[in-house]
Structure 1
Amino acid sequence: MSKFVAKPANSFSGHLKVPGDKSISHRSIMLGSLANGITKISGFLEGEDALSTLKAFQAMGVKIERNGDNVTIYGVGLNGLKKPLAPLNLGNSGTSIRLISGILAAQTFASELCGDESLSKRPMSRVINPLTKMGAVIESNDGKLPLKIKGGQILKGIHYDLPVASAQVKSCVLLAGLYAQGETCIKETAPTRDHTERMLKGLGYKVGVNRNKICLTGGAQLSAFAIQVPSDISSAAFFMVAASIAPKADITLTGVNINPTRTGVIDILKLMGANLSLSNKREIGGELLADIRIQSARLKGIHIPENLVPLAIDELPVIFIAASCAKGETILTGAKELRVKESDRIQVMADGLNILSIENEVLEDGIKIQGGVFLKPNVAIKSHHDHRISMSFAIASLRCHHDIEIEGVDNVKTSFPNFVELANFSGMNITEI
């Protein structure tokens, strides 16, 4: 089991480009495979999660060529996938397994989906239920992996109110809707990332979006086009917080995705008093990009607005580190979804903050964090093999005068394969052993 040793550092500077957006990388492989024609992708995230998606579609007969972060997909059309010879193992990737379920539910062949120990604990009923309503036949292990999906089912469009704010569930149902008879509509309780809708439109598929309702009609085709993947704001968030808490910092992150359904971390940090500005805004392939400059700031505790929580759900662990360095109390509520990520991120972050002597109180749907000083940790922090936990506590070394050891950091490469390299280039001192 690998671990980080993050030694004290107090400066953080430079111009950086973080890897490609994970959500868009997943979807570009899936939709490029289902399109007619050749899709060329640049800026593809070379992390293990996105590669799990790529390998799954190769296993279903799609010719995909990769040269670094450039990928060429020879699309087979909506009905061109072939039965895989073995169960599809999606590793640690919840996005892969939930979105692919929607596609496989409509195929003529049977399939089986599995994953690693962490993914095998995550709830799949949230996609099984709506897919079953559409006519899919799926066996599971009491709502968890493995999933066995029966082939040859005729799907019918449904109107579905999302019980939880989840882009994965929304996207799963929309992808199944591509094959379904009639109209499929999703109604959201709160906005979630809309990369699937944007990319479907880019591939020429008609998608109706009216406030919190997204509709499409099955039976049309997808037409291949070039996709440029912007830098992932979820990865950039670690360095936004790093620059905000470091005593001496001036960092610029270039070409970051600022899709409005993903910018909760920017809004939250600004409310906390972060010295953060956006420049060079542009649109590429239906996605908004900007360069983000962050300098040192004196952060203050806030009650995080609940409407921002779904827009920052993956960035909340590192926001806990920002809260630990802020003056006063930060309160997070409405974030129960954090408990069913790669780990129970509320409890695991609280356990790590306790080791660093930061006062906190765990709530059922959030946490209260009292800003303070990181003291010498007497034991290693356990990340529970959750990549975002590992990177969040590594960032804390910018305000800690002692080494921080973080165990179980092997999954960092699922989303940010060059995290240590970029962090050290900018002034941090992290060793992986």
Structure 2
Amino acid sequence: MKIEPARAVVGHIGVPGDKSISHRAVLLGAVGEGETMVRGFGRSRDTEATLAAVRALGVEAVEEDVDLVRIEGRGLGGLEAPAEPIDCANSGTLLRLLAGILAGQEGRFELTGDESLRSRPVRVDEPLAQMGARVETEEGRPPLAVEGAELTGIRYELPVPSAQVKSAVLLAGLYAEGETTVVEPLPTRDHTEILLAAAGVRLRRRPGRAALTAADRLALGEVEVPGDLSAAAPFIVAATLLSGSELSVHDVGLNPTRTGLLDVLGRMGARITVFNRRKAGGEAVGDLEVHSAELVATTIEPEEIPKLVDELPLLALAAACARGETVIRGAGELRVKETDRIETVTTSLRALGVRASASDDVLRVRGVPSRPKGGGMGSHGDHRVAMLGAVAGLVSREGVRLEGAEAVGVSFPGFFDLLESVTQR
């Protein structure tokens, strides 16, 4: 696919429902009591895999509309072990969170995924085994087999910040005797904690720590899923970089554990206004106005990474159009995403004429005096890298030939249609 240069990005948009919340709402609804209605469900290949997974476990999951899903809960211990492995496709969130739930079920369950997922570390095997579950992996990678057992609560200190591992341990804690506590070195997204509280779980929280004891029942009822800030990120970056752009994004999630993109862009000189702030289902929500701006380089420190880990490829592109050298430190978690994103982002930017270098967990990007030249790059099957390529095409001088553009479907199937609708050439 050839992405031609653009003059500006102008318009009013909404983005699909938050993928992280959509996963969690379906999974908690599956082990809840009664009916859960998930409104604003973010439809993508990842979340479709979650619907397929709960159906394989005996749960009725009905797609009432494009963004409305009804889940008929089976109760905390009501999931059925299927004869075949559960395919988690490309979703590490699904694999890890579901493993936590299955650790407390009767039976043996096998979780697998695509080639990318099978190359990533499981990370939940150790804490779940400490709790008493029987867990098998392929040298720490999927496929993952979980055999439910009587669990005991533990105090688990995350070796690296990971909302997925934190969530898996807390979900297993719903079935454990005694208290389960997770301590994290840096705050990570807390959608699981918010939904657990909404479902009636008594959760004790303080900065860097969450604890719970076994629950008798969950009941979510109705979940309103806000727009996904990660899905809005390509549009925000494009509008910032293209002179004359004016973009509004409505009803987007602004959970403070997810807004690092806005913080860093603001520090670089972006003109982004947040208005109509409100709460929906315990989540911060608002509307954004974005106007084009000249950016200056910055340094992104390790403690900021969990708040913007999915947006780092796009921030690297913003850095390529900023004055000076931007340094991103503590980004090692990017090496175990859908691809080694430090490597793929560095390679992609270089292919487009940008000076970029990487070592261990540090990425350096030198801004170009004018727009990047453009050229050819591949997504490597990574949806975040594909979105980087799409925005790079718009802001480049000569456009970008993007191979593997279809990877965006992992998180945002309608991405290119929406991007075209607000692009002026």
Whichever residue aligns with residue 120 of structure 1, its letter is R
User: What is the aligned counterpart of 2:86 among 88, 93, 100?
Assistant: 88
After superposition, residues 286-325 of structure 1 pair within 5 angstroms as 286-325=282-321
Listed one character per residue, the Cα deviations across residues 92-114 of structure 1 (whole Å, up to 9, x for unaligned) are 00100011011111211101111
TM-score (norm 2): 0.98
Whole-angstrom CA distance in 1 between matches of 2:340 and 2:214? 37
Whichever residue aligns with residue 303 of structure 2, its letter is N
SS at match of 1:416: coil
Query: Where does structure 1 lack aligned partners over 5 or more consecutive residues?
Result: none
Whole-angstrom CA distance in 2 between matches of 1:323 and 1:274? 12
Whole-angstrom CA distance in 1 between matches of 2:160 and 2:43? 30
Whole-angstrom CA distance in 2 between matches of 1:308 and 1:15? 29
Whole-angstrom CA distance in 2 between matches of 1:344 and 1:428? 33
Give the corresponding residue for 1:363. Answer: 359
Whole-angstrom CA distance in 2 between matches of 1:428 and 1:70? 32
Whichever residue aligns with residue 101 of structure 1, its letter is A
Identity %: 43
- C-alpha RMSD over aligned residues: 1.1
Listed one character per residue, the Cα deviations across residues 295-332 of structure 1 (whole Å, up to 9, x for unaligned) are 00000000113322110011101001100000111000
Give the corresponding residue for 1:64. Answer: 61
After superposition, residues 33-432 of structure 1 pair within 5 angstroms as 33-66=30-63, 67-124=65-122, 126-151=123-148, 153-372=149-368, 373-378=370-375, 380-427=376-423
Whole-angstrom CA distance in 1 between matches of 2:138 and 2:125? 11
TM-score (norm 1): 0.96
> How far did 1:45 drift?
0.8
Whole-angstrom CA distance in 2 between matches of 1:43 and 1:244? 27
Whole-angstrom CA distance in 2 between matches of 1:393 and 1:51? 25
Count of residues paired in the alignment? 423
Query: Where does structure 2 lack aligned partners over 5 or more consecutive residues?
Result: none
SS at match of 1:129: helix
Whichever residue aligns with residue 93 of structure 1, its letter is S
> How far did 1:376 drift?
4.3
> How far did 1:59 drift?
0.7
Whole-angstrom CA distance in 2 between matches of 1:51 and 1:225? 21
Question: Contact 2:78–2:105 (CA<8 Å) still a contact in 1?
Answer: no
Superposition misfits of 4+ residues, deviation over 3 angstroms: 373-378
Listed one character per residue, the Cα deviations across residues 113-148 of structure 1 (whole Å, up to 9, x for unaligned) are 110011110001x21011111011111111111111
SS at match of 2:245: strand
Whole-angstrom CA distance in 2 between matches of 1:220 and 1:316? 40
Whole-angstrom CA distance in 1 between matches of 2:385 and 2:215? 42
Whole-angstrom CA distance in 2 between matches of 1:398 and 1:300? 20
Listed one character per residue, the Cα deviations across residues 269-306 of structure 1 (whole Å, up to 9, x for unaligned) are 00110000000011011001000111000000001133
Listed one character per residue, the Cα deviations across residues 52-92 of structure 1 (whole Å, up to 9, x for unaligned) are 01110011111111021101111111011111131000100
> How far did 1:405 drift?
1.1
Whichever residue aligns with residue 206 of structure 1, its letter is R
Whole-angstrom CA distance in 1 between matches of 2:267 and 2:355? 21
